[in-house]
Every structure is written in structure tokens, then in C-alpha cells.
Chains A and B, each alone.
Chain A
């Protein structure tokens, strides 16, 4: 009888004793084949109605970092014992072990459609055969838009509409909520947070939508049995009745939770709530967004869980060991999370620490930085963690919710998780334990050229073997001849001045700096990976972007910039407090043409039974000054896909402001329509009164194009 079988069939006390006996052997076995920080012994697929027990497990150390156990209770976070992971605490009681990974009915009530982040709809009315007839049935303009030319910063609207309670809810970049009739777009109610419309942390007014909660058994006529949550740039979480839009009086302070009350270390900016929280059970779980590249020290990353009805803090989790929190910061969770209710785990995509491009102030281990970390939903304690970039000095934030998927590999059903990254790597691990599904190898990486004082470099970094990296980073990308010709050799000259020794070449002061392929703008962005559970096909859009980073000693930086800072996501940024300022630029010629050869963006389908690419094709069209490049060259994309059981992929995301449908089987483009700005979000697919709808927010993002809008547009097949 195996340890797992024993656990399933014996009383908890007996199981606990057995676990204690089995622990040394289990830990030894895990040492042989995984870098997971902590590995619980969880059963294979869950048995309905069974209480789940996980025995204590040994803390495992990734090669470059030791792994402290810094999951904290609120008491520990405020100075109590940080090592709260007692063995007993890890005997996890899971509230909903019988909840299936894939909802049995069509659901699109979160940022990524479902808590599993599959962005999958089982609806079949719209198919590959009839999608060509798709037509706009209604659109709605929020009025909340700014191009930055007036007194307000530019807006970046990346919200996914949330369909729940027979209503379509959207949050806006002016921090309002609009509740709409899903079939007609008629406004049911609006809510205005009257939030500060200033770039307090991010350079633009950003919003990624709202979150929804409802009681297990809503009481008719009683307020706030169903709640919408909206976060703001100034760090407040608003809770309002989903039927009326009126504030929930019992939630925090009359419906408003001041999250900045927990901003107690290096509070140089507010804990901006731009990403809607993750709602599961009675938990509202949220990270926050900050200001990158500006300061050496910043608020240390933490994630909070509050009670869905009262806003009372349930637990918090610190990503940075308290002992070094004051000397660095961030490693925050600014993007979506995913949840396996059956396992009782919430999966955090954790960003990099501050400052982003120099790590001399944080040479100690920060093992949860740039990681996927699985927490117990009920306690906030770490169950396992995998660090994807050791000692991150490239701003390779893990920027999208990992996609949870059950896949059949080598005849075994594996509850897996795919973590997409900016690097274009797709890491696939067992979501119960964090162990590799396909080998993830620690490989030696470049060690710098000695021009940067105080820096240390991780000797190795994790490289996935399957799926293969979405970008070929072994050498400098080829130069696009047309851009080089138009630039009279400008691109070739730039290539010669850029240092590059392969992936993870560190920032330098030499020449024009270090080439990165990609850095902050490329790879996979926050739209993440979609997954069709029927065919076990993963779908992801990837951007090919070459950027370059240079570090400047403080004196030189000050002389060069004269105190001015670049705007947005490129140019000079000071990293105040660090001995180096930095610059980040896109590798383009004087006309703005990319120096690297196309394609600039692709849509990729992966067979998750084998990890192999099924097909890949350019996605969208690049556009500059209005001029479109051929679609065979593709487009940089921000935003992500949705997949349906109708055999379709819906995606906007491209520079050309079009929304499209592709065949899931072949990748063939089947339908497109022009919207007012790039749809830099994930579409929503929902059914209302027997009709299937596809909704896109066309908000725009100045990272890819100076075009913004306030348009929500909804499509359906014509009525018979």
C-alpha cells in the first residue's frame, strides 16, 4: 500500500503517524527530481466528499535560493513568528474537494473566464462553420477614456466583462462600474467610486475589470447577497450590491476597504488595485500594482485575503522574507490568479523584486520572487512554489494567471498547471506539488561582464524542455533587411553595439547595453494561456520583441537625464537609491520600424498530450502611423484568447484594432471585425436567454499603439 493510498483509507490520526514515518523517504525521493520549494503529498485526482489531508513536507531548496517559509498569519506579518508553517498547519482541510476543475455549466464570471483560467466556454452555437456570419448586436461606450492630452493621464482599459447574475459587469479606467443587460447593452445601474484620477503608481489610468461573489444560498430581498468588487489606483476596494450598485454597508467602512492601511514598509506609492481580486468561497484575494523602475526600495509584495461580506482580513502572505523587506520591495502579484477549488489552492504569479534591473541590494534569497506559488486558500500558507527566474534583474514578472488543466501524458492523467512567461517559456508542472510534468532543466547562464558593481548573478536558470520555448533566444534575432535599408544600416550598427550571450544575458554599462529578446513587452502577456479541455489543446499568443537595457552609474545617469524620467514603459528610469539608473528601448530604426525580422506576433496551439506545437501562425497586423504591414508579419499583442467548444479561438490583442476568430483545429482565420482600439484584454463568451454572445473590450494600450477607446462591443449570430 502506498503512502497516498494509506492516507485515503485511514483515520487522520493514523495517517498523520504514517506520514511522520514516511516523511524522510518521501523527502529524499522528492529531492531527486524537483526544485519545488515545498511539496505536499496530495492525492491524485480527488474523490468526491473526501476530506483532504496533506502531510508535512520537507522544505526544498532551489539551486540559487534557500526557501524560507514566510507564509504568515496577520500576527506573524506584524512581527510575530514568521515561521508559521508548522507541520500541523499543513494538514490541510479542503472545503470543496468535489468541485470539478472545469465548471459543468458555461461560466464567465472572472477575469480569465473561470477560476481555472482556462478561458474556455462549452457553448457550441457559434461554430467554425457559421462564425463568418457573426454580427455586432450592441455596443456600449462608457465615456471613461482619455488620450492623455488633457488633464488626465491616458487610459489603459484591459477589462474582461464579467457575466454573472444575468448581468454583464464592467469596470472602467475612471474606476466606475457599469451593469448592463447582456442581451441589449441597456444600462441597469452604474457606480462611481469618485476615485483620484491621477497616475499615482502606474503611468496610465488602468483597470482590468471587476470581480463577483454570491452567497451559497442568496436570501431574496436582502442586500449584498451578491457583490461586485472594484479596485482603484488609490488602493481602495469597493463592494457594492450586484443587483442595485449600492455600497455594501457591512463591508469594511460602509463598502470601502482601505487596502493602503497595510502599506507599512517603504510606502513610496499606494497599493493600487488595478486587477480585480480573485473570489473563491468567502475569500476575496488580492495583490496590487506599483510603480516599476523608479525606486530601489518599494512596498514589499504581499497578498491579502479578506472576508467577502465584511472585508475583514483573513490572512496575508508576504513574498519577501521580512528580514530583507525594507532593503528591496515589490515581488508583488499584480495580475490575475487561478484557483483549484478541489485542491483548495490559489496560484499566485509573483513579480520580480525592486529595483528591477540591479540586484545588488538583494543578494539574499527571495525564493518567492518571479515564481508561481501555491497557497492554501483557507490559511494563506505556502503549499509549493517554483521560482522561474533566480535573482531576476530583467523585470521578468510572472504576469499571467497559470492555466490549470488536466492532461494525459504517457498514459497518465495529470492535474497540471501551465505558467506562461514574458520570456516565452511555458512551464508545465503538477499543480498539486509543483513537480515537473516534462523536465525543467537548470542550465548555466551568462555571468556578466564585470561592469556592474555589487551585482551577483544566478549561476543557473530554469529552462523548460517541453513545450519548447516560443522564441529562439540562442542568438541575436535576425535583422529585418527593410528596416536596416530604410535606416541606412542603423539596425546593423545597433546590433553590433548590443551585448548578447544568449538568454539571461545580464544588464551592462557597455556599448548600447544588452539585447533582450524579449524584455518587458514581449513573450506572453497577462492574457495568458487558453485551454480546450476536450482536445487538451493550449492556445497562447506570443510577441516577438527585441529591446535593450543599459545601466548607467548614478553620476552619468544624472548628467544624461538632467533629472528627467522617461514616460511609460521605455526610456530612462532612475531606480532611485540604487547606484545605477537604467534605460530600456525598443530596437527600432528612426522611422519606428522594428529592426528584427518578422513575425512580430504569433498564435500558437499546443497539443498538451505531447507538449508539441500543433500549429502556429502570425496573428493580426502591425500598424504604424496608420500603415498596416502584411498580416504574414503578424503583430505584437497584448491581451489574450478565449476558446470555445464550437472549435473557435476568439482574440483581439493586435495593433490593428481588429478582433478575430480562428479555427481551433487549423489556425485558419475565419472572421474579423474592426473595433475602435486594440482589444488588450481577453474576450468574454456567455449565453443569455439561449443565445451565445462574444464580448470584447476595445480599450487600447499605449505600449503597442497610441489609440484608446471606451468601447465594449458584443457579437452574436443573426436571429433566425
Chain B
């Protein structure tokens, strides 16, 4: 039987990736659809790229669960979500902000579960 510590995917990291993917879709809509108020703007492209990077961040966290790489991508994820959230605020992109809040929750979940996870090599 699988415990939550040896699931094939990490719930927190998966939530990060999934919410960031939703954010990327929203950002793409804002960029490409007419009449969004930010259609075709550099700001809309910026949050599209940053959302995709957060998807990548969540995916990497699923594979690298320990050590310096893990914490590096946790920190990058925190910076990414803060930056994207701030950008979305100034872009008046409410749904993107919501997605980024979920990404932030995913990071918190990931950190909490990681803290409760047995150290590498422990039985």
C-alpha cells in the first residue's frame, strides 16, 4: 500500500503545475483574444511566459523532491507566483490572480508535506 510519502506524484507540486497551467491558459486568452483590455500587450505576454515557467516549476518539483535543486525551485516558485500575482493585479487580470493564489496554495502544501516527509534514507 502506498503512503502519501511515496505517491507517484507530489500533491503540492502537482497543484502548482495544474494551477499554473490554468493561469497560462487564462494569460493566453488575455493575450490573444480581442477586447480583453490587454490584448497583444507585453504585459500579457510576460504573465503568459511566467505562468508557463511555473508549470515547469511544478513539474520539476515532482521529480526533484530533495536537496538544493528542490529548494531552489521552491524559492523560484515563490518568486514567480509573487511576480505573476503582482503583474496580474496591474493587468486587471482577476482570473489569473485567482490561479496564482491557487499556485501559492500549492507551494504551501508542498512545503508542509515536505516538512512532514521522512528524511532521505530514513525508514
Q: Are B37 and A674 in contact (CB under 8 A)?
A: yes
Docked complex Cα distance between A625 and B31 (Å): 12
Please, which residue of chain A has its CB at the minimum distance from the CB of B31? A626
Select which of B34, B35, B42 is within 8 A of A626 by beta carbon.
Answer: B42
B11-38 vs A, Cβ < 8 Å mask (1 yes, 0 no) = 0000000000000000000000011011
Docked complex Cα distance between A6 and B69 (Å): 98
Docked complex Cα distance between A625 and B87 (Å): 11
- Tell me the minimal C-beta distance from B96 to chain A in angstroms: 12
- Tell me the minimal C-beta distance from A8 to chain B in angstroms: 59
Q: Are A625 and B42 in contact (CB under 8 A)?
A: yes
Q: Are B34 and A676 in contact (CB under 8 A)?
A: yes
How many residues on the A side are at the interface (Cβ–Cβ under 8 A)? 10
Docked complex Cα distance between A675 and B39 (Å): 12
A688 at the interface (CB under 8 A from B): no
Q: Are A625 and B37 in contact (CB under 8 A)?
A: no
Q: Are B34 and A625 in contact (CB under 8 A)?
A: no
Docked complex Cα distance between A629 and B90 (Å): 7
A656 at the interface (CB under 8 A from B): yes
B92 at the interface (CB under 8 A from A): yes
User: In the assembled complex, which residues on chain A have CB atoms less than 8 Å from the CB atom of B43?
Assistant: 625-627
Interface magnitude class on chain B: 10 to 19
Count: A-B pairs, CB below 8 Å: 27
A628 at the interface (CB under 8 A from B): yes
User: In the assembled complex, which residues on chain A have CB atoms less than 8 Å from the CB atom of B46?
Assistant: 625
A505 at the interface (CB under 8 A from B): no
A41 at the interface (CB under 8 A from B): no
Docked complex Cα distance between A675 and B34 (Å): 10
Q: Are A627 and B87 in contact (CB under 8 A)?
A: yes
Select which of A626, A629, A674 is within 8 A of B44 by beta carbon.
Answer: A626
Q: Are B37 and A657 in contact (CB under 8 A)?
A: yes
User: In the assembled complex, which residues on chain A have CB atoms less than 8 Å from the CB atom of B42?
Assistant: 625-626
Q: Are A674 and B91 in contact (CB under 8 A)?
A: no
Q: Most chain-A Cβ atoms within 10 A of its Cβ — which of B37, B43, B92?
A: B37
B72 at the interface (CB under 8 A from A): no
A653-693 vs B, Cβ < 8 Å mask (1 yes, 0 no) = 00011000000000000000011100000000000000000
Docked complex Cα distance between A676 and B37 (Å): 8
Q: Are A656 and B37 in contact (CB under 8 A)?
A: yes
Docked complex Cα distance between A628 and B34 (Å): 17
Docked complex Cα distance between A656 and B87 (Å): 16
User: In the assembled complex, which residues on chain B have CB atoms less than 8 Å from the CB atom of A628?
Assistant: 37, 90-92
User: In the assembled complex, which residues on chain B have CB atoms less than 8 Å from the CB atom of A625?
Assistant: 41-43, 46
User: In the assembled complex, which residues on chain A have CB atoms less than 8 Å from the CB atom of B37?
Assistant: 626, 628, 656-657, 674
Within 8 A of B (CB), among A242-286: none
Q: Are B41 and A674 in contact (CB under 8 A)?
A: no
A379-414 vs B, Cβ < 8 Å mask (1 yes, 0 no) = 000000000000000000000000000000000000
Q: Are A627 and B91 in contact (CB under 8 A)?
A: yes
- Tell me the minimal C-beta distance from B97 to chain A in angstroms: 13
Docked complex Cα distance between A628 and B38 (Å): 9
- Tell me the minimal C-beta distance from B64 to chain A in angstroms: 34
B60-77 vs A, Cβ < 8 Å mask (1 yes, 0 no) = 000000000000000000
Docked complex Cα distance between A629 and B34 (Å): 21
- Tell me the minimal C-beta distance from A447 to chain B in angstroms: 45
Q: Most chain-B Cβ atoms within 10 A of its Cβ — which of A626, A656, A674?
A: A626
Docked complex Cα distance between A674 and B35 (Å): 7
Please, which residue of chain A has its CB at the minimum distance from the CB of B86? A627
Please, which residue of chain A has its CB at the minimum distance from the CB of B34? A676
- Tell me the minimal C-beta distance from B122 to chain A in angstroms: 48
Please, which residue of chain B has its CB at the minimum distance from the CB of A630? B90
User: In the assembled complex, which residues on chain B have CB atoms less than 8 Å from the CB atom of A674?
Assistant: 35, 37
Docked complex Cα distance between A583 and B43 (Å): 30
- Tell me the minimal C-beta distance from B33 to chain A in angstroms: 12
Docked complex Cα distance between A674 and B93 (Å): 14
Within 8 A of B (CB), among A615-638: 625-629
- Tell me the minimal C-beta distance from A390 to chain B in angstroms: 44
Docked complex Cα distance between A675 and B37 (Å): 8
User: In the assembled complex, which residues on chain A have CB atoms less than 8 Å from the CB atom of B87?
Assistant: 627
The answer to whether residues A676 and B91 also contact, given A625-B42, A627-B43 and a CB cut-off of 8 A, is no
User: In the assembled complex, which residues on chain A have CB atoms less than 8 Å from the CB atom of B91?
Assistant: 626-628
Docked complex Cα distance between A629 and B89 (Å): 10
Docked complex Cα distance between A627 and B38 (Å): 8
Docked complex Cα distance between A625 and B90 (Å): 10
Please, which residue of chain A has its CB at the minimum distance from the CB of B42? A625
- Tell me the minimal C-beta distance from B70 to chain A in angstroms: 33
- Tell me the minimal C-beta distance from B30 to chain A in angstroms: 8
Within 8 A of B (CB), among A634-659: 656-657
Q: Are B35 and A676 in contact (CB under 8 A)?
A: yes
User: In the assembled complex, which residues on chain A have CB atoms less than 8 Å from the CB atom of B92?
Assistant: 628
Q: Which 4 A-B pairs have CB atoms at the shortest separation, nearest pair first?
A: A626-B41, A626-B43, A626-B38, A625-B42
14 contacts between A and B (CB under 8 A): A625-B41, A626-B37, A626-B38, A626-B41, A626-B44, A626-B91, A627-B90, A627-B91, A628-B90, A629-B90, A656-B37, A674-B35, A674-B37, A676-B35
11 new A-B contacts, CB < 8 A, other than A626-B43, A627-B43, are A625-B41, A625-B42, A626-B38, A626-B41, A626-B44, A626-B91, A627-B91, A628-B90, A628-B92, A657-B37, A675-B35
